Amino acid sequence: MIQLARLGDLVQSLPAIASLTARYPQRSLDLLCPAPFAALARLFPGVGHVLEWNGPQWHAWAEACVGEFQAGCLDVVGRYLAGLTSEPYETAYVLNQHRRALLAGSLLALQVRGPYLHGPLNEELSPWASYLRHVARSRGNNRVHLSDAFCGLCGLTPPPISPRLTPPLPDLPADLGDIGSSNRRWLAVVVGAGDPDRIIPVPVWIEWISALLTRESSYALVLVGSERDQVRSLAIQNGLSPMMAGHLWDATGRTSLPQLAALLKQCQWAVGGDTGPLHLATAVGTRAMGFYFSRARVHETGPYGNGHWVWQADRALPGAWPIQSSVALLLDPATAAHQEPVAGWSLWQSHHDEWGAIFRPAGDRDPQEDQRATVWHQLSEQRLSLQGTQ
């Protein structure tokens, strides 16, 4: 399997991995992913070897070739590829539409299953890739989750239950060692985002955390994020009442991805706008509540599985935030059905069934008919018909 996109997409590949290993239990499955995610990918169930894709090295080779191309350029590239695998794989399942992933598939395997039907130079899309491109361009009434579409790309159906990964035992810095212990309720706050457009403003977090701790003092909050989120985390802490300091643990920039997975597993909830850590939280069994705005869409990339919540903004940059409502929901999920509508936001809850994940509006009956079964049937028929013509 080849997944060269971001952290969120890698974690969202878990259902496809689960379906693939269930369908072909006798075959071994290796995973090619960006080198920085390799340690996390090694925790994925069903994955044999994890091959590390060194993007910066490829950039360096390409730069070295510019204006100075010689046959020797291919020597070093060939050695790198041989280091990934000495023998070509039988099949590469490519989950990205980026040409690099397709080329990687063609370089490493005898046959490629993925977005393109006929190799990297022929842009005729497979039915599922065509559907995903349509969704990316027009959204429409799509309710098929990206994780499940990945299964479709591989010619599989979604797994009956959402897959879990088991993080290692927490091996955290001493001051974070208590996370998950005691009688507190632990909640991870994802303070930043890989995409700057998806960052929840610091004042919003200050107000949200204040509202939560004012109403329920048994919560302990772990601020998580990368090194670049440390300044933001500090700003949040500085903006809070000193009385709340004892409720906060700052883990930003201090964890590797496996450590972050372990840390999230110690929490009951993960809250934030960055889909990558939220997907990681759900993968280790932690409930997630997401604030989706900018380009994030609940139906395509909401937290996978059962019982997660997503506040979906109706505009890219929200004017107001559902602070009190989301805190109330967190403290008592049963109130979801009776929540007052929040202007500019809609609330969705995740479910999981035979067609994978589905988000339905809280309280109300879904005004839109669930067409996932139809989509799956149509796309499967198209795929089978194409296979028949090949």
Partner 1 sequence: MNSFETNVNRLAQCNAALASALSQSRGGTLEIVQARTGIPSARANGRWIHSAYDPIQEAKTWAESQSPQEGETIVVFGVGLLYQVEALCARLPRTAPVFLVVPDLSVLVDAASARAWGDWMDRISWAWGTPEEISLQIAKANQPMRLMAYTPAAALHADSHRAIEAVLQRQIAAQAGGQLNIAIVGPIYGGSLPIARYAVSALESLGHQVRWLDHSVHASSYQQLGLLKNPQHRLALQSKYAEMLSRVTMAQLAEDPPDLVLALAQAPLILPMLEHLRKKKFMTAMWFVENYRHLTYWQQLAAGYDFWFVIQQEPCIAALKRAGAKEVRYLPMAADPSVHRPLELTQLEREEFGADASFVGAGYSNRRAIFPRLLGQDWGFKLWGNEWDGATDLTSVLQRNGARIDTDTCLRVFNGSTVNLNLHSCSGTGFDPDGDFVNPRTFELAACGAFQLTDRRSLLPDVFTPDEIATISSPDELPAEITHWLREPEERRVMTTQARRRVLADHTYAHRMRDLLSQIGVASPDRIGSIMRGARQTGALASAAGASFPSLTSALRTFPSNQRVELKQLAAHVRSRGPMGTLSREDLMVLMLDEYRSETKDLV
Q: Which residues sit at the interface with partner 1, rule CB under 8 A? A: 58-59, 61-75, 77-78, 81, 99-100, 103-104, 106-107, 118-124
What's the min distance (Å) between Cβ of 130 and partner 1? Answer: 16
Pairing of strands 345-353, 356-361: antiparallel
Smaller CB distance to partner 1: residue 122 or 183? 122
What's the min distance (Å) between Cβ of 60 and partner 1? Answer: 9
From CA 85, how far away is CA 53, in angstroms rounded? 12
What's the min distance (Å) between Cβ of 355 and partner 1? Answer: 33
Smaller CB distance to partner 1: residue 121 or 337? 121
- Asked whether the beta carbons of 38 and 7 are under 8 A apart, the reply is no
What's the min distance (Å) between Cβ of 266 and partner 1? Answer: 38
What's the min distance (Å) between Cβ of 115 and partner 1? Answer: 14
What's the min distance (Å) between Cβ of 380 and partner 1? Answer: 25
